[in-house]
């Protein structure tokens, strides 16, 4: 059952489900899109999340109970069947099992479920894979929906577009690290993320992204309109690369010539939910034409 809660005088929090799924994320996206389009008086901000969303409003312009009534109405009338998403397909190169995240994760083995293995080895084992290479293949075989942006500016929470029983899942560290390298690629729960900047963190670390997803200077073409690259609704394909390609991309970033490989796509949630494999195959085919 959907939960509506007050947050002080200016916020309302709406939890559509206690668990994340592609369907409930599409529902949150559809409701918040319709809410933006209706330009409700007094509504100041809308923040969609994985299985919920939050709104900020001016209580002098609209009573919170009136706004909740409006949100409940949208929950009943907005259908993902009528929802169309226009987004970007993006090739995101990742150097798996890299020296930098390996150095970081080995410093914090006392905070991990299995101090005797690396994060990749541990994740492969608990997900039933015979090796870390098999896990990497499963991660890179199918694309991900950027379901929300958060935690730190520009961090994409990415949910793989496969049937729920095929989702890769790993727990967070028992206790968080105090250090995570910039652009570290990690996994927590069923979500893949890239850490935009150096900082703390508790997700399992699998590799490093070759290119930035946050750039304060906005010197690269992909950041001319925003200091952060990911957007909710993007489709990311994480691609495994060699050290040689990683270094080549790093040089392009330094030269200011790097651009993400992107293609625009318009799709409906129904396409994804009815046949995730066919949709994923279509995405990969169109991205690399």
Break the chain into its structural domains and give their ranges.
3-79, 86-287
- Whole-angstrom Cα distance, residue 123 to residue 117? 10
The pLDDT of residue 1 is 85
In terms of Cβ atoms closer than 10 Å to its own Cβ (0-12, 13-18, 19+), residue 133 is middle
Q: Does domain 86-287 have CATH number 2.60.120.10?
A: no
Count Cα neighbours of 223 within 13 Å in the Cβ-side half-sphere.
18
List residues bridging with 188 in a β-sheet: 191
Task: Report which of 233, 231, 186, 201 is spatially closest to residue 213, judged by C-alpha positions.
Answer: 231
Q: Would you say the CATH fold of 86-287 matches that of 3-79?
A: no
Q: What is the dotted CATH code of the domain comprising 3-79?
A: 3.30.1360.40
| Tens of each residue's pLDDT in the chain, 289 residues | 899 999 999 999 999 999 888 899 999 999 999 999 999 999 999 999 999 999 999 999 999 999 999 999 999 999 888 888 999 999 999 999 999 999 999 999 999 999 999 999 999 999 999 999 999 999 999 999 999 998 888 899 999 998 888 899 999 999 999 999 999 999 999 999 999 999 999 999 999 999 999 999 999 999 999 999 999 999 999 999 999 999 999 999 999 999 999 999 999 999 998 888 899 999 999 999 8
């Amino acid at each position: 059952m959907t939960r509506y809660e007050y947050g002080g005088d200016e916020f309302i929090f709406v939890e559509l489900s206690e668990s994340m799924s592609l369907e409930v994320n599409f529902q949150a996206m559809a409701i918040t899109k319709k809410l933006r389009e209706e330009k409700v008086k007094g509504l100041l901000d809308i923040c969609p999340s994985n299985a919920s969303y939050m709104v900020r409003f001016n209580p002098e312009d609209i009573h919170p109970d009136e706004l909740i009534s409006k949100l409940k109405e949208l929950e009943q009338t907005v259908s993902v069947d009528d929802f169309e998403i226009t987004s970007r397909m993006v090739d995101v190169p990742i150097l798996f099992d890299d020296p930098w995240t390996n150095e970081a994760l080995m410093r914090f083995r006392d905070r991990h479920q299995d101090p005797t293995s690396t994060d990749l080895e541990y994740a492969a084992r608990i997900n039933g894979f015979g090796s870390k290479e098999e896990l990497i293949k499963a991660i890179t075989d199918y694309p991900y929906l950027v379901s929300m942006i958060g935690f730190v500016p520009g961090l994409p929470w990415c949910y793989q577009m496969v049937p729920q029983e095929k989702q890769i899942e790993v727990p967070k560290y028992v206790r968080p690290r105090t250090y995570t390298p910039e652009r570290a690629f990690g996994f927590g729960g069923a979500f893949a993320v890239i850490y935009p900047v150096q900082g703390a963190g508790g997700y399992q670390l699998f590799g490093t992204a070759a290119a930035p997803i946050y750039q304060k200077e906005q010197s690269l073409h992909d950041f001319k309109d925003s200091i952060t690259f990911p957007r909710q609704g993007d489709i990311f394909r994480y691609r495994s690369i060699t050290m040689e390609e990683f270094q080549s991309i790093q040089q392009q970033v330094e030269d200011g010539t790097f651009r993400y490989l992107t293609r625009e796509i318009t799709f409906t949630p129904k396409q994804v939910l009815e046949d995730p494999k066919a949709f994923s195959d279509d995405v990969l085919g169109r991205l690399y034409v």
